Amino acid sequence: MADTKNQDAIALLKQDHRTVEELFEQFEQASGDGRKQKIAEQICLELSVHAQIEEEIFYPACEGKVEEDLLQESYVEHDGAKVLIAEIEAGGPDDEYYDAKVKVLSEEIEHHVQEEEKRMEGLFAQAKKAGLDMDALGEQLAARKAELIEQFKLSGIPEPKLTTMNEVSI
């Protein structure tokens, strides 16, 4: 396992992205409901922690330093993912749409990760260019991440807090 100590913010967040991509890959190849559910739950945990540390620490630090449109889209994309994560958490592999939900989540995340990592104009590139202190942010992200993993493993992933959504009735 890569050394997670003293990673700068971008290295830490990118490593999270790679972890989740690997898990999605494993899900695609897995057979057996138990195995699939285990991987899906790991995906949900990783993504929930990742989204929360970005929203608590990294995105606020980007405020005013990156294109506002891009930052707002990031929050909206997170909320879309949180809804699917809650759906996947609430269900199981015997649900008719379980695999489809995991697949759509992986596609949404793939798009979102591209927006964050895109060279030159991606969120991370813009934040770096703006001179954010990535070492200090990396420390904060790592500390909060460890705390949340502990907490979520103990008491489960909490109900998603949606940052951008209005109440809708369907």
- Residues within the interface to Fe ion (CB under 5 A): 54, 116
Q: At what angle do helices 98-117 and 9-29 cross, to 10 degrees?
A: 150
Strand, helix or coil at 90? helix
Q: How far is the CB of 55 from Fe ion (least distance, A)?
A: 8
- Whose Cβ is closer to Fe ion: residue 8's or residue 116's? 116
Task: Give the gyration radius of the chain's Cα atoms.
Answer: 16
User: Least separation, in Å, of the C-beta of 68 and Fe ion?
Assistant: 16
Query: What is the Cα–Cα distance from 49 to 42, expressed in whole angstroms?
Result: 11
What is the three-class DSSP state of 39? Answer: helix
Closest CA to 143 of 3, 4, 1: 4
Residue 19 DSSP SS3: helix
Closer Cβ to Fe ion, 18 or 97, answer by number: 18
Using the minimum distance from each CB to Fe ion, give the nearer residue, 8 or 54.
54
Single out the residue of 89, 85, 102 nearest to residue 48, CA to CA. Answer: 85
CB of 17 to Fe ion, least distance (A): 6
Q: Which tokens in the block code for residue 121?
A: 């104009």
Minimal CB distance to Fe ion: which residue? Answer: 54
Residue 81 beta carbon to Fe ion: minimum distance, rounded to whole angstroms: 8
Which residue, 58 or 98, has its beta carbon nearer to Fe ion?
A: 58
Measured from the CB atom, is 36 or 78 closer to Fe ion?
Answer: 78
Smallest distance, Fe ion to C-beta of residue 45, A: 15
